[in-house]
Chain A
Amino acid sequence: KAGVTQTPRYLIKTRGQQVTLSCSPISGHRSVSWYQQTPGQGLQFLFEYFSETQRNKGNFPGRFSGRQFSNSRSEMNVSTLELGDSALYLCASSLSGEGYGYTFGSGTRLTVV
């Protein structure tokens, strides 16, 4: 079966712009989580969506937002980009949010210049 698909794979944006990243989960998976990976902070939880509802949110500013559609696909948006937002953004899907069932995508590498 197809894995978790994240698009685009690479992105370069300018400070102050906004960006939208997409994640298509494994078919049948209803939970999608997003993580930010940076060399300094490591892997940090952004948010989790289940059945179009945000269930959990990490400690990120309001510039980071997300949503989930009825087909479980999810998008995350970062507005007013800062240099520190440069990171690998990973999404993971699972049937209902159980950690042992997570499958991660390959990530979107965002560079802010």
Chain B
Amino acid sequence: GEDVEQSLFLSVREGDSSVINCTYTDSSSTYLYWYKQEPGAGLQLLTYIFSNMDMKQDQRLTVLLNKKDKHLSLRIADTQTGDSAIYFCAESGGNNRLAFGKGNQVVVIP
């Protein structure tokens, strides 16, 4: 079955890089995602990576996928106070449902 693990909390200074990690169990996952949730808001899709890719870069965001170890990471360069949020990784296979991790709260210190 699907099971996604994330660490819970990260604090980072403004301007530094943040790295959030995630492990998943479903090797048949087709896509892996990173979502952001700000207080009182829904989920915002930040980026996603197809399972046959190793890396994807999108402006300040870099996603690394190690399929052998089932490990996904999100690096945020030049972290800003607006990046303070909870970040969820998620996976999906062919069944049109997302399995989410528990989330990682990122606090950016000015």
Query: Is A75 engaged at the interface, CB distance under 8 Å to the other chain?
Result: no
In the complex, are the beta carbons of B42 and A106 less than 8 A apart?
yes
Pick from A42, A58, A99, A106: contact of B101, CB under 8 Å: A42
B41 CB to nearest A CB, Å: 6
Interface residues of B, count at CB 8 A: 23
B99 & A45 in contact (Cβ 8 Å cutoff) = yes
B67: CB under 8 A from chain A? Answer: no
In the bound complex, CA of A59 to CA of B96 (Å): 15
The 0/1 profile, CB within 8 Å of B marked 1, for residues 2-35 of chain A is: 0010000000000000000000000000010101
Of listed B41, B43, B90, B95, residue having the most chain A CB within 10 A: B43
B-contact bits for A98-109, CB 8 A (1 contact / 0 none):
111011111100
Report chain B residues within 8 Å CB of A42.
Answer: 100-103
In the complex formed, the residue of B with least CB distance to A90 is: B42
A103 contacts across to B, CB distance below 8 A = 45
Residue interface bits B19-48, CB-to-A below 8 A is 1, else 0? 000000000001101010000111111001
5 further interface pairs, Cβ-Cβ under 8 Å (given A43-B43, A103-B45)? A33-B96, A43-B98, A43-B103, A56-B95, A99-B30
Task: Identify the B interface with A (CB < 8 A).
Answer: 30-31, 33, 35, 40-45, 48, 88, 90, 92, 95-103
Q: List 6 A-B contacts (CB under 8 A).
A: A33-B97, A42-B103, A98-B96, A100-B48, A102-B45, A105-B42
